[in-house]
Amino acid sequence: MATDYTPPVDDYAFLFAEAFGRDIAAQASGGAFTADDATEIVAGAGDFAAGVLAPLESVGDRVGARLENGQVHMPDGFAEAYRAFVEAGWVTAEAPESAGGDGLPGVVRAGLGEIWNASNAAFALCWLLSAGQIHALDAAASDEIRETYLTKLVSGEWTGTMNLTEPQAGSDLGAIRTIATPQGDGSWSVSGQKIFITWGDHDIAENIVHLVLARTPDAPAGARGLSLFVVPKHHVGSGERNGVTTVAIEHKLGIHASPTCVLAFENATGYLVGELHGGLDGMFVMMNSARTGMGLQATGIADRAYQQAAGYAAERVQGRVLGRDAGATIGEHPDVRRLLLSMSTRIYAMRALGVFAGDLFDRADADGTGRLGEFFVPILKGWATEEAQLITSEAIQVHGGMGFVEETGVAQHYRDARIMTIYEGTTAIQSNDLVGRKVLRDGGATAEQVFGLIDETIATLSGIDAPEAARTAERLRRAVDAARRATAALLGFADAPRDAYAVSVPYLMLLGTLAGGWMHGLALAAVFGHAERSEADAARITAADFYGTHHLPRVHALAETVAAGETP
């Protein structure tokens, strides 16, 4: 059976107040609240998640969503949990002030995103899609659409979806065939089929707002001809059903309680969002929000798997530990300890990188860090979701044969995690974005900016009189050198794009792994600033040392792979 969920409040308290050398919550909020206030918010979310959402996770996995007579029905308890989520104010809290929400800063939303996903990833996807649509409509919608739809999304009365994929149009959005025809009254008639629509239908909210990419008559070919429309499930005012039908729901490997729908739009009434043929601009606002959310989902699912593995390892008695009598728990065996540290050190790196990305976007308008934030979006999404595959697998390994038995519950995390490297853009799509739009396009300038920031941390660690700091500084120095060489090799492929894109995933994984080491380096610098060190400080020192010897060395191997280009 799945273990109870314990939110990582202490880690977030450290990240908000110390890890980055300043109170990032106070800076993000303009002094409206402090790291202590942010920690209190995260703790409150953790209590809600542990008490309301986590108990439904295994229920959702066993029962799943079901389609009956054209209507999707959720497992018992999900509608009540959603109402509680809304009434507790979590929807309004996370929505931006410009959309009518409370506008919690990105650093706090990073913590909430992890917690919602760790406690119940399938449930969390509903809010993730609604949050993305809120950002998209806030950026591009007319006053009328804002008043009619955005206010209902921010209140939580309605939920939102993202409709891109069609049977013939997956990653190639230019192949979309859904057509939107003007009706003469300002509305449009939308017809076509969309697949893989997350939370495309359900019975937990009054209405569903579909954000749909479609092309208009005589539109330019390809992606340039796409426009964006809001299409409600029920007509506003009358409450009558719009021309949107749930044809089927997919039977999936994981996230069973997240209804993945095939939707048929048959002369459904929709309304244009933003400029005609400007659909991709609006949709990518939502997509970027979702991609960042995937990084947080990866951290959450990985941590839930780790917590279950650590709990099992602390209770399961098996075999002898070298030099001791029989009767040891498996957590005392060297290799199980290695597995647990392997998991926990990567999870901290993922968690810290999520907060760091949130901080960059919080500061984007004030000091121009927006470009740096955009640089880390594909890294967070791609690297964190790939690492989550390994972490959830290691959680099964800790359980031994019991991990392969569904009743244990740990297999659910492995199954739920598998989709994360695929949806909202595969790892290859993330890496192509990173290499093509963010490295080659600016000649590696932003990458060098990142390396320069890591150099500053190396200098700080080098000035600390402690062997652990010296070791971490030297490991980071060699890793940054390797990353610079890999970046130079990538830039050398500018006239040979196949070489560049053939190694884009290794390059993304290199930067993610390096960023993880940097996050541990920053933590180490903060810890050594304490006059007296606590048990938590000692654990952070151990974590930095472990990451530096077990994970950071992969940077060097990946750098060689990048330099080789495409295999002949």
CB within 8 Å of 425: residues ≥ 6 apart: 171, 287, 291, 378, 381, 433
* Residue range 492-497: mean pLDDT, rounded: 93
Q: List 23's β-bridge partners, or say none.
A: none
424 labelled catalytic: yes
- Over residues 335-364, the mean pLDDT reads 97
At 156, list the tokens. Answer: 């939580």
pLDDT of residue 129: 97
Q: By percentage, how much of the chain surpasses pLDDT 90?
A: 94
pLDDT confidence of residue 1 = 52
321 band by pLDDT with thresholds 50, 70 and 90 = confident
| pLDDT, tens only, 346-359 | 999 999 999 999 99
Average pLDDT over residues 393-404: 98
The three-state secondary structure class of 160 is strand
User: Tokens 């003469």 belong to which residue?
Assistant: 184
DSSP-derived secondary structure for 243-291: SEEEEEE---SS-TTS-EEEEEEEEEEEEEESSTT-HHHHHHHHHHHHH
pTM over 0.95: yes
Report whether 186 contacts 152 (CB < 8 A): no
pLDDT at 3: 67
What region, left, alpha or beta, does residue 459 occupy, with left being phi > 0 and alpha being psi -120 to 50 degrees? alpha
Helix locations, 316-409, DSSP H: 334-362, 364-367, 370-399
Q: Are 217 and 179 in contact (CB under 8 A)?
A: yes
Of 313, 290, 403, 308, which Cα lies nearest the Cα of 347? 308
List of residues 6+ apart from 95 with CB closer than 8 A: 101, 102, 103, 131, 134, 153, 154
Candidate list 424, 448, 474, 566, residue with the active-site label: 424
Confidence of residue 567 (pLDDT cuts 50, 70, 90): confident
User: In the prediction, which pLDDT does 492 show?
Assistant: 97
Kindly report, residue by residue over 193-245, the tens digit of the pLDDT. 999 999 999 999 999 999 999 999 999 999 999 999 999 999 999 999 999 99
Contact indicator for 328, 320 with CB cutoff of 8 Å: yes
Q: Is pLDDT at 2 greater than 60 in this prediction?
A: no
Q: Is the predicted pLDDT of residue 362 greater than 80, yes or no?
A: yes
Mean pLDDT of the chain: 96
d(CA 39, CA 37): 5
Plot region of 424 (φ>0 → left; ψ -120 to 50 → alpha; else → beta): left
How far is the C-alpha of 187 from the C-alpha of 185, rounded, in Å? Answer: 6
